[in-house]
Amino acid sequence: MHSLYWRIFLAFWVALALILVGTVTVAVNATAHRTDRPWVQRGQLYAQAARAFESGGPAALRSWLQSLPAEPLGRTFVVEPAGRELLGRPLPPFLRGSSATAAAPGGGTQAGSSAGAIAPRGGALVLVAPGGSTYHVVIGPVHDRPHLFGELELPGVPLTLLAIALVVSGVVCYFLARYLAAPVDRLRLATRRLAAGDLNVRVLPALKGRQDDLGLLAADLDTMAERLRLLLEAKQQLLRDVSHELRSPLARLQLALSLASREDGTVQCHLARIAREAERLEALIARTLKLVRLERPAQHIDQAPVDVGDVLRTIAADVAIEAHAQGCLVQVQAQGPLPMSGDPELLRSAFENVIRNAVRYSPADAMVGITAHRLAGEGQQGGLVEVVIRDQGPGVPHKDLGLIFEPFYRVDAARGHGSAGGEGLGLAIAARAVALHGGHIAARNGKGGGLAVTITLPAMDRARSAGRTAAATA
């Protein structure tokens, strides 16, 4: 019952049903009040019947009865002693199977032993002939009882019409609720796709150009999605343009350095510094372009068997020289084979960026610890591989833990940009590479200081890993 569709449907249907029942009830009550004759008119008719009977007996009573006009509100009957109606008309249901006086509604009178004498009895005027024969004058309603739908007297017709009315109202409410709730469902699905990164989603075409409030809301959502798409494309285009514009002067700078380095002189030390800065600028541009490529929607990655433990040990060996120069140690503890399927270069880039970042911010005589093991992941066929990289640096303020994976984001103070600080792209590249492999990356401060970065990736079950390895070596 949480669905908006069913709430609208039931609300409208119950409202229509109550209106229908209320209208019928009022109509029935109004009809019931009109079916009985006013008592004044009833008394006048009884008096006329008594005078006719006194003046001429049953023959005069028959003539009086025939002279009565068609009554819209009731019918007048005279029942003979034999139980037949005086004019030969069929008796109404409320007079059949019982005596006239017992069945007739309202008050009445009865004659005495002499003709024309009138005395009250039951619900009819009882006229007594000189021989003792009795004639009952009964004024009854037009119908036996008020029907729900006016003049219809066929048995069961009102209930049938009521059922048809309920069915028709239910169908109308169904389409009305669908007309109102379907656009809301489309809007909800579109916002989910938009939140998932699909900036090409549009709602208004699916609503067939509705001009009501829901149509305006869909148009606003489409406008927002288009604006976000343009902003994202502008951001990526800016990064591409900046990288392209920097590459041209950088190439000329490197060419000039190459020519100047062939000559002797005191400029050699300055040239070496320029060369280092040029290399750094080249690395920055390369990493920026790499991040742009990784942020493209629907990015395709190559799939190959990869052992996470082997990748971590290779990176640790490469970083050992840099760590030794800084006076720290890199240690890897990988429990057994940790196979997974992914892009080897992207995975290496993700792990290496995090490990080099840990080495950069570790003090002398510190250790960068790398642990890797398999987890039993819920819903994962091969489980999960968890890699934790811990340093003994100053850590990161709690408010910045969720921001260090954003491009060009730098933490102030000890981890700020300086002699040890980077340009703020390494962790962003790592986060995007992990996400492309269906994994998750998070950072937290250690209890004794330092920063711990946890990377979780979907693992490959051992049977599939062995099969792929055999196929690759065959």
Per residue in 48-74, pLDDT (tens digit) is 888 888 888 888 888 888 888 766 445
Query: Average pLDDT for residues 159-177, to the nearest whole number?
Result: 77
Of 141, 175, 205, the last residue of a domain is 141
Residue 413 above 70 pLDDT? Answer: no
Q: What is the pLDDT of residue 76?
A: 83
Residues 103 and 165 in one domain: no
Residue 113 amino acid letter: S
Strands ordered across the beta sheet of 451-458: 329-334, 367-375, 384-390, 451-458, 440-445
Instruction: Tell me if 204 is assigned to some domain.
Output: no
Contact predicate 347/311, CB 8 Å = yes
Helix, coil or strand: residue 112: coil
What CATH number does the domain containing 311 carry?
3.30.565.10
Instruction: Tell me if 199 is assigned to some domain.
Output: no
- Angle of helix 268-294 versus helix 426-436 axis, rounded to 10: 30
Residue 434 — very low, low, confident or very high, per pLDDT cuts 50/70/90? very high
Residues 368 and 457 in one domain: yes
Phi then psi for 376, rounded to 5 degrees?
-85, 95
Residues 290 and 386 in one domain: no
What CATH number does the domain containing 127 carry?
3.30.450.160
Residues 94 and 136 in one domain: yes
Instruction: Tell me if 374 is assigned to some domain.
Output: yes
Residues 454 and 328 in one domain: yes
Residue 295 — very low, low, confident or very high, per pLDDT cuts 50/70/90? confident
Cα-Cα-Cα-Cα dihedral sign, residues 93, 95, 97, 98 = positive
Q: What is the DSSP letter of 387?
A: E
Residues 231 and 310 in one domain: no
Instruction: Tell me if 194 is assigned to some domain.
Output: no
Distance CA 436, CA 430 (A): 10
Of 268, 294, 320, the last residue of a domain is 294
Residues 58 and 19 in one domain: no
Q: What is the pLDDT of residue 297?
A: 63
Residues 167 and 104 in one domain: no
Contact predicate 110/126, CB 8 Å = yes
The model's pLDDT over 328-373, given as tens digits with 9 standing for 90+, comes to 999 999 988 899 999 999 899 999 999 999 998 888 889 999 999 9
Residue 44 above 50 pLDDT? Answer: yes
Q: What is the pLDDT of residue 72?
A: 40
Of 294, 322, 338, the last residue of a domain is 294
User: For residues 110 and 372, which has the higher predicted lDDT (pLDDT)?
Assistant: 372
Residues 169 and 311 in one domain: no
**How does 413-442 read in b/e, with b if 16+ C-beta sit within 10 Å?**
eebeeeeeebebbbbbbbbbbbbbbebebe
User: For residues 349 and 287, which has the higher predicted lDDT (pLDDT)?
Assistant: 349
Instruction: Tell me if 388 is assigned to some domain.
Output: yes
Instruction: Tell me if 95 is assigned to some domain.
Output: yes
Residues 334 and 263 in one domain: no
Instruction: Tell me if 171 is assigned to some domain.
Output: yes
Residue 441 above 90 pLDDT? Answer: yes
Residues 349 and 390 in one domain: yes
User: For residues 359 and 281, which has the higher predicted lDDT (pLDDT)?
Assistant: 359
Range of the domain at 31: 4-35+150-186
Distance CA 455, CA 458 (A): 10
Q: How many domains is the chain partitioned into structurally?
A: 4
Which span out of 160-174, 285-299, 325-339, 376-390 was modeled with the highest average pLDDT?
Answer: 325-339
Residues 134 and 159 in one domain: no
Beta strand 384-390 with 440-445 is: unpaired
Instruction: Tell me if 191 is assigned to some domain.
Output: no
